[in-house]
Amino acid sequence: MSRTVTVGFDGSRESLAAVDWAAGEAVRRAAPLRILQVWSKDDDPRTRLVAPATAQGWGERALGTAGRRLRRRHPGLRTETQWVCGDPVEELCAAADEAELLVLGSRGLGGLAGFLAGSVSLAVLARTRGPVVLVRPHNRPAAGEDGPAGEVVVGLDVSAPGDEVLAFGFAAADRYGCGLRVLHTWAVPSLYGADMGAALQLMWAEVAQDARRALDEALAPWTEKYPGVSVVRECRQGRPAQDLAEASRGARLVVVGRRNRRARIGTHIGAVTHAVIHHSLAPVTVVPHD
């Protein structure tokens, strides 16, 4: 795996936001940026009658424009552009496996509909072995800005915390020079409700205590490794996806995990992660872990 930051590009508003976000990330990492456009003749009804050579000409001109704009904005950034013809999921997954980070644009519908990740993004998220960032159009930094000033939010399952998730979150907060909020929530089964008996209340108090202890144990090696990162720990009853969506308001980045496993009907990203990428107001990084 190289230290390159790779971003998917198709000329849309979402992909332009992703390109700008990825450029800022590449600068902070002192890594080159690769802008990749994948064209599939069969995926877009507008281009089914277009010859690949014509589509390549269009794509390379758009890539050239994007590359020149970034070089003006970030003079020291090493930028590479590439147009390929193939299956978008296959090509983006291959690019992700070669890169330090893959960045993709996602459509925001606004209101209750929240964050809509397209089928290509979801398929890539489910299959990649490295972290993938989803960026919405409003996450695009304005000219002259380094990005939002919020904290990094990490959603953590203390039963399977995944060192990769915490490693990414702490490194990001250290790189940005901002605080880190680590959030673990669990839901009390609705069967019990608010009128649970004393014995059940005691049981859930013990569950809460065990969760806080597990959270402290998971964070201990990382707070030692990154003593300069200010950490806020939240461990409480709630709804994980909803709490992370709320925490994304004003956040600089939300980081969630995806277990490396295969279900009977194929690889999936998990219910909480799926909900977060649809409803987060901040860019979301999905980090695969064992």
Helices (H) then strands (E): counts for the chain: 8, 14
Q: Pick the range with the lowest mean pLDDT from 73-77, 127-131, 208-212, 254-258.
A: 208-212
Is 4 a residue whose pLDDT tops 60? yes
Burial environment of residue 271 by CB neighbours within 10 A (0 to 12, 13 to 18, 19 or more): exposed
User: What's the confidence (pLDDT) of residue 43?
Assistant: 56
Burial environment of residue 11 by CB neighbours within 10 A (0 to 12, 13 to 18, 19 or more): middle
Among 233, 234, 238, 243, smallest CA distance to 186 is for: 238
pLDDT tens across 246-255, in order? 999 989 999 9
User: Measured between alpha carbons, how far is 134 from 122 in angstroms, rounded to an integer?
Assistant: 10
User: Measured between alpha carbons, how far is 94 from 87 in angstroms, rounded to an integer?
Assistant: 11
**Is 136 or 165 the better-scoring residue by pLDDT?**
165
User: What's the confidence (pLDDT) of residue 195?
Assistant: 53
pLDDT tens across 230-248, in order? 999 999 888 999 999 999 9
Residue 94 pLDDT class (50, 70, 90 cuts)? very high
User: What's the confidence (pLDDT) of residue 1?
Assistant: 57
Q: Say if residues 185 and 276 touch (Cβ distance below 8 Å).
A: no
Is 113 a residue whose pLDDT tops 80? no
Q: Say if residues 9 and 15 touch (Cβ distance below 8 Å).
A: yes
pLDDT tens across 6-58, in order? 999 988 888 899 999 999 999 999 999 999 999 876 655 555 567 778 878 88
Residue 201 pLDDT class (50, 70, 90 cuts)? low
